[in-house]
Chains A and B, each alone.
Chain A
């Protein structure tokens, strides 16, 4: 699971709503996958990213996009690495509101809820 995906995932436990974001990430196994650097892609993606969630998930992230980031290659490369190259293979995602844990195994997060959890 890439961190860009984590940035989009939100807990859908009943009643939790928008408070289900962001999921707390605990990674036990991580792999770095080189991905071709596309500065344009990263630059345009930055405004779409929920920065607070990213900060929580990765500790090497600057506090926020710096001014003129579109042309700052060092910054863009750093963000590229964090968003696309870090791959969580094993770990858990936790709903911040309900505490429910979702496992990540072989790089795939399992977000399925049980039948009771999805009942109204």
Chain B
């Protein structure tokens, strides 16, 4: 375990309940309460990048984070006014507002008793503030539902979302409507201030049968009948129940309590029940689909999550005017994330496959179009370029590159283990040649640990391993040297 991990593990003695109690003591004026509401937000991040994400939160929101033992989750407090900025975070996949956290939940002995406890729990939780946050969050999106239906185009490629998913039992029946992954949703997650072309799944059916006047007047009356679902993630060896059962029984009680309607695919409210050993967190989702596909409109077979790309880039601490190269860019996820977030650096996307380079160029163009919408006037180009080249024979000047960030072929979805054996040493050789001596650095993502370690050991005199982070992103390893 790296130093960083050890240090952050020590922060885990967090009692979120204390924060919660102090909120409930505030004044009862409804308007000022919702304006100055402080909430705890949870975010899922690629496992291993909890610290990077925490850094981003501190930098952009000024809040410090607690990193959960449940891998891939961080928690931080914000005031509701900052909600829009939270959606602009680039290292988080999904966001939720915490209803309650139990640091050390006492499970009863039998399944029946445990499930009964869950049922009783539903009615006792402090739902009202989180629901207010959920409502505010939803209102960001409701204002943009005008063109929602027109944006659902057919013929989008299917997304292979297998990379990086947890191996613990996960009851996730999300109706993953992949065909709405056009740039409009992605825009929203980049900048909630954009009003025009957003498409959303939240309350689609609901919004379509009311007009906007109805919505504002309904705020005073009893809330409309919402649709909801419960998603339960359960990890731990000593549980006597399954996540399905927990979701079902907890969900039933939630339904009784609120008189909401249960709907697995077209829901307004997604209640999260996250159980990790003895830690339970109940939350309400603020994002209905992952932020991680945000920049990539043209998918390829091995597209990297944007949040992962961001995390890797951030690990390298890019400095102004750094030349940042991804020599196996695929669809260009990493350089595109780089050009968007570190626009004071210069990014080059390269690949040997003409299809990949074309896709990357298309993604770059799509990005330019989005900037056009944002600014409203001139379409600004970005400091990014694409080249077709061979990683083993990079047509780059020696020592000219400051940072290399890439997702090495895994040998499963692309390439093969045998090819990797020959490819990896040659890659590393070339990468070391083009990297600036002294300050050059690389973040390489690989699944083929054995092959990578062998190749790296042959180059001990060249690469200094500052940090080796063996992170398990599903099955991938990440090295920073």
- Measured CB to CB, the residues of A under 8 A from B are 1-2, 4-5, 8-12, 18, 20-21, 33-36, 38, 40-41, 44-45, 48, 50, 84-85, 87, 102, 106-113, 118
Contact = CB atoms under 8 A, between A and B. Distances in A.
A79 to B, nearest CB: 13
A1 B323 CA distance: 15
B386 A10 contact: no
B381 A33 contact: yes
B321 A41 contact: yes
A110 B350 CA distance: 10
Contacts of A84: 381, 383
Contacts of B181: none
B480 to A, nearest CB: 23
Top 8 nearest A-B pairs (CB, nearest first) are A33-B381, A111-B395, A35-B381, A44-B321, A111-B389, A5-B385, A110-B388, A10-B397
Q: Which of B352, B389, B390, B395 has the most CB of A within 10 A?
A: B395
A35 B382 contact: yes
Interface string B231-270: 0000000000000000000000000000000000000000
Given A108-B358, A112-B352, A113-B390, 18 more contacts: A2-B385, A5-B387, A9-B387, A9-B395, A33-B381, A34-B381, A35-B381, A35-B383, A36-B380, A41-B321, A41-B383, A50-B397, A85-B381, A102-B395, A108-B361, A111-B388, A111-B389, A118-B393
Contacts of A112: 352, 388-390
Interface of B: 320-321, 323, 343-344, 346, 348, 352, 354, 357-358, 361, 378-383, 385-390, 392-398, 400-401
B398 A106 contact: no
Nearest to A93: B395
B391 to A, nearest CB: 11
B309 to A, nearest CB: 20
A107 B396 CA distance: 17
Contact of A40 (B344, B357, B388): B344
Contacts of B393: 12, 113, 118
Contacts of B358: 106, 108
Contact of A8 (B323, B352, B361, B381): B323
A108 B397 contact: no
29 contacts: A1-B387, A4-B385, A5-B348, A5-B387, A8-B400, A8-B401, A9-B395, A9-B397, A10-B395, A10-B396, A12-B394, A12-B395, A18-B398, A33-B381, A34-B378, A34-B380, A35-B380, A36-B380, A38-B344, A45-B321, A48-B321, A50-B397, A84-B383, A102-B395, A106-B358, A107-B361, A109-B388, A110-B388, A112-B352
Nearest to A6: B385
Contacts of B396: 8-10
Contacts of A41: 320-321, 344, 383
A64 B74 CA distance: 51
Contacts of A111: 387-390, 395
A77 to B, nearest CB: 15
Contacts of A38: 343-344
A18 to B, nearest CB: 7
Contacts of B386: 107-108
Contact of A21 (B378, B385, B389, B397): B397
B352 A109 contact: no
A93 to B, nearest CB: 9
Nearest to B388: A110
A34 to B, nearest CB: 6
Nearest to B380: A36
B169 to A, nearest CB: 45
B339 to A, nearest CB: 11
Nearest to B350: A111
Nearest to A106: B361
Nearest to A31: B381
B320 A40 contact: yes
A99 B398 CA distance: 20
Nearest to B353: A112
Given A10-B395, A12-B394, A40-B344, A108 B320 contact: no
Contacts of B343: 36, 38
A72 B136 CA distance: 48
Nearest to B345: A41
A11 B395 contact: yes
Contacts of B320: 40-41, 44
B398 to A, nearest CB: 7
A96 to B, nearest CB: 13
A106 B358 CA distance: 9
B397 to A, nearest CB: 5
A99 to B, nearest CB: 15
Contacts of A113: 390, 393
Contacts of A85: 381
